[in-house]
Amino acid sequence: MAIPKPARSISPLARYENIHEHDASLVGDGLHVGIVMSRFNQDIGEGLLSACTTELKRLGVAENSITLASVPGALEIPLALQTMAGSGRFDALIALGAVIRGETYHFEVVANDSCRALMEVQLRSGVPIANGILTCEDDDQALVRMHQKGSDCAQVAVEMTNLLHAIRENS
């Protein structure tokens, strides 16, 4: 089945006549994307991954330009992302996983620290990271959200890569 190509860019109405505005571009041709997925709550992770890779391919990212690393849990995702970012091989990175609330404070620790660490890696490396680590009250919430979130992460990764390239070219 052929995957339809996305529109070249998403053009909002011009806000100002004399101010340059970068258009959002969802063209993934030629991009290399790294994905780190947590194996904890694996069924949800696999759902996120399926939606994410399907959308990356639809946006034009070649299947052989997608690299997947799996890690035990959400707290291990940032270190793998940091290593991938430092390799210089990836235009964008994606974090996938699910943290489901339990009966202890551990949920808050994992949810907050994994998110904080993703932001640190992104800001230090300059490589965009799409955060697809779901933080949900229960499995049902995660199951409902996983496909849309996986797809959204693919779009964010491609759009942010294109935006950063455009900003660098015009600087």
| Active-site choice (20, 22, 32, 106) | 106
User: With left for phi above 0 and alpha for psi between -120 and 50, is residue 34 left, alpha or beta?
Assistant: beta
pLDDT digits (tens, 9 = 90+) for 27-79: 999 999 999 999 999 999 999 999 999 999 999 999 999 999 999 999 999 99
| Pair of tokens at residue 8 | 């070249």
Asked if 33 and 153 count as a contact pair (C-beta separation under 8 A), the reply is no
pLDDT the model gives residue 1: 45
| Amino acid, single-letter form, for residue 39 | R
| Amino acid, single-letter form, for residue 40 | F
| Mean pLDDT of the chain, nearest integer | 93
Alpha helices in 19-90 (DSSP H): 42-58, 77-87
User: With left for phi above 0 and alpha for psi between -120 and 50, is residue 30 left, alpha or beta?
Assistant: left
Q: Would you say residue 8 has pLDDT above 90?
A: no
165 noted as active-site residue: no
pLDDT band for 103, please (50, 70, 90 cuts).
Answer: confident
| CA of residue 51 relative to chain centroid, distance | 11
pLDDT digits (tens, 9 = 90+) for 107-123: 999 999 999 999 999 99
Q: What count of Cα atoms within 13 Å lies in the side-chain half-sphere of residue 148?
A: 5
pLDDT the model gives residue 78: 98
Mean pLDDT of 13-38: 90
pLDDT band for 93, please (50, 70, 90 cuts).
Answer: very high
